[in-house]
Chains A and B, each alone.
Chain A
């Protein structure tokens, strides 16, 4: 049996206030996901029960109903949702958007950090100013541009408008600013140009911010709903979030299958987040930004 030393006890007591704050906050963030699981594995009878049932009831067949592999007992019909297609579309759109964001963020971030050109400060200020513009404001102008390009109801309509990110550019610029100037000067002596320095020296050091940017934008792209709903008309290019609308009816809702569907859509991104979350802190810290 281990005995806590005086030092260990005082350290534990020192941590206590932090845990008193962090644990409730963590629970508050986790609870909605847990509650989604409780509803998804419950029945229509238990959903609005009060006092609520706070543990999963184990009706895992609800996921089969949401997938369309079992009959929905609420209406004795199969749900006809082309999940594989919707998942494929989402993965494709999120992956290509993320790759595009990485490329543009690295190039623009490097230029703003390491290259001199007239009006650099002004241009960077303008780029940052874009961050202040709400997405809703750009909805109509972007729609008009895409319509003129005949891109409505296409994959590119869901990728290209999000191919550059102010956050990504800013983060990469901050990271490149932390690289010692000596590195660049030494590389120059060895005959390196900007592009070679960037690809062979700077980028291998930038894994943490790159993963951070990738994670942020993959999640944002995965969760996109309003934009694809407005820009697309056919299921062949629609992402998985839009599929969730098939669980909402004008005159009713089925919270059980809806939650099951929502969980099916959320779990992949949660898994990615769990594996990649440690890079988030590292990524932000490596850019010199401190909270």
Chain B
């Protein structure tokens, strides 16, 4: 009996010594009590920047500890350049918008702060808060196991379609599958009009997964490209055949040429992010009726790529500034604000409770706006692997796909060349 007590005592002492009771190694952070200034670099312009300013100003006036200053750094590519320069100089902002590939790049030098301590702080997120955030968004924020991003302005791809053109051709519903998509495109094509235009890279990636393919042999540890597989070839060939038949056409080289073609009724369908709604509704006006439909499904169901940006906090900032930055993120993504942001911007709300709230009135009044987030609630969205070299890989694949869409290369040659380039990039980092 004495021996057992001795062992129990020794065990208790060991646990205490290791910090298991009373003296935790990572004590929970208290609430932020001092005043901090937070600089936030972003890449939102136009109405989106207006919405961001509105919510940020309301945060700045709602409390006195944290003041957030917004800095517009151009487009996402400009923001990336500015951040890489600032990081190299050891002078990043406190927080910034970051696409997944970009975050992976910044984190190669360990520049990003792990947000876990701030999520777990006394003024952080409760367990119910964490459960309220859509899991696919929450899981998208980790790099090497650390929560270095937080979902911010998330979107996904939907299918815009010209309802008047569909009605004129006797098509009553938008295509739900790719088979229907190509069949409808054929019916819709006519003089001066095509069904749709060649797909953006992200659409092609989504289709690849819907047909059972994947980008890499091992998506969880990408070492070798696998998109030039038989599945990749089949998906690509579907588009090539439609382009050759003439009821689809290659997208122009000008930025957003497909968007303007849809506005001008040169195409009957247009695949783009749901946020494009903010930019096409004005020019279309009352010229024709259009709506959004879910991303078409393949044999493996719907696997639509989620994109938009997250936010990152930079490790270089003092701990209380990082803490203040997280409190701003928490405010921006609480139920009320993320619901407001969704209405202002067409981005998806990051919380389930916000979706429920919006479903009550806003989405009923604007059913098109609910399309993307409804796919999210059905588990139809996914995030493909992201890497620091992701932008270079995307450029390599896009260049070859454009060669294929324009008939300058056959699908096999183009995909093999793209895979070879991606393998080179993966090998050299």
Q: Which residues of A are interface residues toward B (Cβ below 8 A)?
A: 44-45, 47-49, 72-77, 139-140, 143-144, 147, 152, 226, 229-230, 233-234, 242, 245-255
Contact = CB atoms under 8 A, between A and B. Distances in A.
A143 B91 contact: yes
9 contacts: A44-B283, A76-B282, A143-B86, A144-B89, A229-B74, A229-B78, A250-B48, A251-B279, A253-B256
Nearest to B79: A229
Contact of B256 (A72, A144, A242, A252): A252
Interface string B256-277: 1101110110100000110110
Give 6 nearest A-B pairs by CB, closest first: A252-B279, A74-B282, A143-B89, A233-B71, A245-B74, A140-B88
Given A140-B89, A143-B89, A233-B39, A44 B278 contact: no
Nearest to A235: B72
B264 A74 contact: no
B260 A44 contact: yes
B47 A75 contact: yes
B54 to A, nearest CB: 13
A246 B45 contact: yes
Contact of A251 (B81, B263, B266, B276): B276
Given A143-B91, A249-B48, A250-B45, A75 B282 contact: yes
A230 B85 contact: yes
Contacts of B407: none
Given A49-B264, A230-B85, A251 B43 contact: no
Considering residues A247, A248, A254, which has the most beta carbons from chain B within 10 angstroms of its beta carbon? A248
B264 A230 contact: no
Given A76-B282, A139-B85, A252-B256, 7 more contacts: A74-B279, A77-B47, A140-B89, A143-B89, A229-B74, A246-B46, A249-B279
A252 B91 contact: no
A45 B264 contact: yes
B86 to A, nearest CB: 7
Contacts of A254: 279
B260 A255 contact: yes
Contact of A147 (B91, B256, B263, B285): B91
Contacts of B76: 250
A234 B71 contact: yes
A47 B264 CA distance: 10
A76 to B, nearest CB: 6
Contacts of B256: 252-253
Contact of B255 (A77, A233, A242, A253): A253
B154 to A, nearest CB: 12
A229 B261 contact: no
A225 to B, nearest CB: 9
B318 interface: no
B73 interface: yes
A187 B137 CA distance: 78
A49 B273 CA distance: 24
B85 A44 contact: no
A144 B381 CA distance: 42
A248 B89 contact: no
A253 B69 CA distance: 26
Nearest to A244: B74
A250 B256 CA distance: 10
A249 B264 contact: no
Interface of B: 39, 41, 43-48, 50, 69, 71-76, 78, 81-82, 85-86, 88-91, 155, 252, 254-257, 259-261, 263-264, 266, 272-273, 275-276, 278-280, 282-283, 285
A214 B85 CA distance: 30
Contacts of B50: 77
A73 to B, nearest CB: 6
A249 B45 contact: yes
A230 B78 CA distance: 8
B259 A252 contact: yes
Contacts of A234: 71
B260 A48 contact: yes
B278 A251 contact: yes
A245 B285 CA distance: 25
A152 B44 CA distance: 22
Contact of A73 (B71, B276, B282): B282
Among A152, A246, A248, A251, the one with the most B-chain Cβ atoms within 10 Å of its Cβ is A251
A148 B317 CA distance: 17
A48 B261 CA distance: 7
A171 B358 CA distance: 66
B283 A250 contact: no
Contacts of B279: 74-75, 249, 251-252, 254
B82 A250 contact: no
Contacts of B78: 226, 229, 245
Which of B43, B47, B255, B283 has most chain A Cβ within 10 Å? B283
Contacts of B71: 233-234
A252 B280 contact: yes
Contact of A48 (B43, B75, B82, B254): B254
A256 B41 CA distance: 27
A195 to B, nearest CB: 39
Contacts of A45: 263-264
Contacts of A143: 85-86, 88-89, 91
A83 B93 CA distance: 26
Contact of B278 (A72, A75, A140, A152): A75
A115 B257 CA distance: 59
Nearest to B155: A251
A82 to B, nearest CB: 13
Contacts of A247: 45
A47 B279 CA distance: 16
B200 to A, nearest CB: 12
Which of the listed residues A47, A229, A230, A250 has the most CB atoms from chain B within 10 Å of its own CB? A250
